[in-house]
Amino acid sequence: MDFYLSAILLGLGFSSMAMGIFISMKIFNIPDITTDGTFTLGGALTAVLIMSDFHSLLSMPAAFLLCAFAGAITGFIHAKMKVNALLAGILVMTALYSVNLAIMGKSNIPLIGKALVFEIITFAEDGNLNRFVYLFLMILICAFFLDRLLKTDFGIAMRATGNNEQMARSNGINTDRMKITGLAIANGFTGLSGYLITQVQGFADINMGIGVVILGLGSVMMGEMIVRLFGSNSIIIQITAVISGSILFRLVLAFALSIGIDPLYLKLVVAVFVLLIISIPNLRKSHA
């Protein structure tokens, strides 16, 4: 049972990153590969700050802001320097590998003997349950914040930019600025995920971000399938579905491991699973 609870904890931790992918992919229609770098950046900064005896809560805004800055750089390269969004993300992600190594000073930082965020306020005696409540509350706050943001005038302008850029410009929206800000917020959420996962797993690793973008994408796609079940396209339903998608995704991976699939093939399982999620709706359409 603990095996599946751990999967749920990871799912909750990763759902902040999935919300980031939701912003870049679904709101702005931009495949943002920066995620791989900013996830590690959030984790690396968290580990370094905690090991330097900073309060673990302090590293949360620090991780959000630094990762948002990295996302803004991708946005700037794409919107202002007119570089393809995919390439802009790859460039920043590549650069972040060196930045992350420089921040960490080594490839792995274990968080041993330091007060993690889960130990500051105790909601339950059981360690895993306490983590679950903490992560659940954190994600609830993030979801509420994102839902509110997307309903504000600024949020509507953000959504219009990704939905119909020509219309957005015709209505006085500075679409370049929107993309930069949007990618900053998306990567801020990803950094928050790095912050949470580093503390869930108890260490930061230079390679912890490799391939997370595909996990986020899978969660968003899975969320989309859930939205179809609800038949509603409201923002809160979409966000809730993305979070559920992230948890379900982790549960499926846990199930794959539990039935004896070699962890060596885990990335292959992820790729095939995401492919299935993406293609099933299209295959259904073509047979209808």
Partner 1 sequence: MLEIRNLQKQFNRGTANEITAVDKLNFQAWRGEFIILVGSNGSGKSTLLNLIAGNLNADSGSIKLNGDEIVEYKEHERSRLIGRIFQNPLSGTSPDLSILENFRLAYLRDKCKSLRIGTGNDFREMISEKIRELNMGLEKKLDQEMGKLSGGQRQALTLLMSVFARPTLLLLDEPTAALDPKSSVQLMKLTEMLIQDNQITAILVTHNLKDALQYGNRILQMSEGKIIRDFDAESKKNLNLNELVSWF
- What residue ranges bind partner 1 (CB under 8 A)? 148-149, 151-154, 156-157, 159-160, 163-164, 166-175, 233
Q: Which helix (H) or strand (E) holds 215?
A: helix 212-230
CB 24 → partner 1: shortest distance, Å?
16
- For 81-113, b where at least 16 C-beta lie within 10 A, e where not — what string? eebebeebbbbbbeebbebbeebbeeeebebee
CB 115 → partner 1: shortest distance, Å?
34
The helix/strand/coil state of 188 is helix
CB 150 → partner 1: shortest distance, Å?
10
CB 10 → partner 1: shortest distance, Å?
31
Nearer to partner 1, 154 or 255 (CB): 154
Query: For strand 108-110 and strand 203-205, is the pairing parallel, antiparallel, or unpaired?
Result: antiparallel
Nearer to partner 1, 149 or 269 (CB): 149
CB 232 → partner 1: shortest distance, Å?
11
CB 158 → partner 1: shortest distance, Å?
9
Nearer to partner 1, 45 or 157 (CB): 157
What type of residue sits at position 4? Answer: Y
Nearer to partner 1, 45 or 185 (CB): 185
DSSP 8-class letter at 209: T
CB 172 → partner 1: shortest distance, Å?
4
Closest alpha carbon to 4 in 281, 248, 284? 248
Nearer to partner 1, 81 or 112 (CB): 81
Nearer to partner 1, 72 or 92 (CB): 72
- Taking CA atoms, 77 is separated from 158, 169, 184, 220, in Å, by 18, 19, 12, 25
- 2 burial level (CB within 10 Å; 0-12, 13-18, 19+): exposed
- 242 burial level (CB within 10 Å; 0-12, 13-18, 19+): buried
DSSP 8-class letter at 32: -
Closest alpha carbon to 212 in 96, 59, 115? 96
Nearer to partner 1, 78 or 159 (CB): 159
